[in-house]
Amino acid sequence: MLNYSLRRLAALGLVWAVAVLVTFFAVRLVPGDPVMMMLGDQSGNAELAARLRADYGLDQPWWTQLLTYLGGIADGSFGLSYRYVGSTVFDVISGGLRITPVLALIALALAVPLGVGLGILAATRAGSWTDTGVILFLVTGISIPGFALASLLVWLFAVKLALLPVAGWGRPDQLVLPILVLVIPPMAVVARLTRTYMLEVLERDFIRTARAKGVRERLVIWRHALGNTLVPLLTSIGIIFGGLLSGAFVVETIFNIPGLGRIAIDSVLARDYPVTMSIVLLFTAIFTLVNLAVDLLYGVVDPRIRLAGDTA
């Protein structure tokens, strides 16, 4: 497993290098001039504009700007923000680093067990009204866009019932609606996959044998069937976590949460290239590392699995 992990980490380094290059050139294709955005009402001051370009290195060739940005990554500052004069990118995004990953992890920690539970409930009652009701809920949860789901929950719990605040950050009750918006779609996906995998496993011979031997149904489901459902289900968890990170853009904007998603949108609108690139790179790094962790968990969940390069 050590050899496999090292090879995967080397491959991730290549992915991150490509991500740096892609984001560096992609943000420069966005229409608009960051210097003009910084000047605002003084956009006609050519002398001040030239000084700002020199201060931020925007008057240098693209390869010089790329090397400067790589230096900022190396020292951990990620360079200087165009929008917040005198502040490093890390200073700008440090607050969001304590919010967005936590939101995504909380949502994942809730979505997976709840989704597995719903999927098992539907699979063990296949064809019943319970199964039909669960399927309808799953289809609804998967189909409704995040912004529409957020608007519906705000109208119901904040406006109509006045139980929760409309938006904001800092109090426990302000966590409820954003977490609900993030949890429902992945929970529906996990439940649908669990139901599908569980129905397949319940038809296998070892399940029939266990039942024929008189093993209690609860043990058949939770010990024998569920264990064989987790391995294929793990494949989707990394992708689901990536979806939670991207969903943070919508949730944080709607609920006025000062996380990485809202900072990224604000930086795009302000043409703050260093902040935009750094958030994209952080999301890429988190997503790829979570997928690596999921791959390594295969061998833990099912010892029969041998990762590439391992010996039996």
Predicted structure pTM score: 0.80
Mean pLDDT, to the nearest integer, of 45-56? 80
Task: Say if residue 309's pLDDT is above 60.
Answer: no
CB contact at 8 A, 192 and 142: yes
pLDDT for 111: 92
Same domain assignment for residues 143 and 213: yes
Based on the structure, what is the number of domains in the chain? Answer: 2
Cβ within 8 Å of residue 58, ≥6 positions away: 34, 35, 52, 65
Same domain assignment for residues 61 and 117: no
Q: Is 243 a member of any domain?
A: yes
Query: Is pLDDT larger for residue 5 or for residue 104?
Result: 104
Same domain assignment for residues 116 and 82: no
Containing structural domain, residue 26: 2-89
Per the structure block, which two tokens stand in for 272?
Answer: 């703050």
Same domain assignment for residues 107 and 252: yes
CB contact at 8 A, 158 and 166: yes
Same domain assignment for residues 54 and 199: no
CB contact at 8 A, 292 and 8: yes
Task: Say if residue 209's pLDDT is above 70.
Answer: yes
pLDDT tens profile 222-242: 877 887 787 778 878 878 888
Whole-number Cα distances in Å, 134 to 67, 71, 112, 192, 225: 54, 52, 16, 9, 20
Same domain assignment for residues 62 and 163: no
Q: Is 131 a member of any domain?
A: yes
**Cα maximum dimension of the chain:** 87
Same domain assignment for residues 55 and 187: no
Among 75-89, 181-195, 291-305, the least confident range: 291-305
Whole-number Cα distances in Å, 226 to 204, 216, 253: 13, 14, 38
Same domain assignment for residues 71 and 122: no
Among 40-44, 62-66, 110-114, 133-137, the least confident range: 40-44
Q: Is 296 a member of any domain?
A: no
Share of the chain above pLDDT 70, in %: 93
Task: Say if residue 312's pLDDT is above 50.
Answer: no
Q: Is 10 a member of any domain?
A: yes
d(CA 276, CA 75): 18
Domain boundary among 63, 89, 115: 89
Same domain assignment for residues 214 and 119: yes
Q: What is the CA radius of gyration of the chain?
A: 24
pLDDT for 303: 61
Mean pLDDT, to the nearest integer, of 241-249? 82
Phi-psi region of 144 (alpha: psi -120 to 50; beta: other; left: phi over 0): beta
Q: Is 282 a member of any domain?
A: no
d(CA 204, CA 194): 16
Strand partners, 80: 88
Same domain assignment for residues 82 and 106: no
Same domain assignment for residues 146 and 216: yes
Q: Is 88 helix (H, G, I), strand (E, B) or coil?
A: strand
Q: Is 239 exposed, middle or buried (0-12, 13-18, 19+ CB in 10 A)?
A: middle
Query: Is pLDDT larger for residue 163 or for residue 312?
Result: 163
Same domain assignment for residues 19 and 160: no
If DSSP states are collapsed to H, E and C, what string results for 230-288? HHHHHHHHHHHHHHHHHHHHHHHHHCCCCCHHHHHHHHHHCCCHHHHHHHHHHHHHHHH
pLDDT for 1: 63
If DSSP states are collapsed to H, E and C, what string results for 15-74? HHHHHHHHHHHHHCCCCCCHHHHHHHHHCCCHHHHHHHHHHCCCCCCHHHHHHHHHHHHH
Phi-psi region of 271 (alpha: psi -120 to 50; beta: other; left: phi over 0): left
Half-sphere exposure of 169 (CA within 13 A, CB side): 18
Mean pLDDT, to the nearest integer, of 251-278? 87
Query: Is pLDDT larger for residue 66 or for residue 306?
Result: 66
Residue type, 169: W
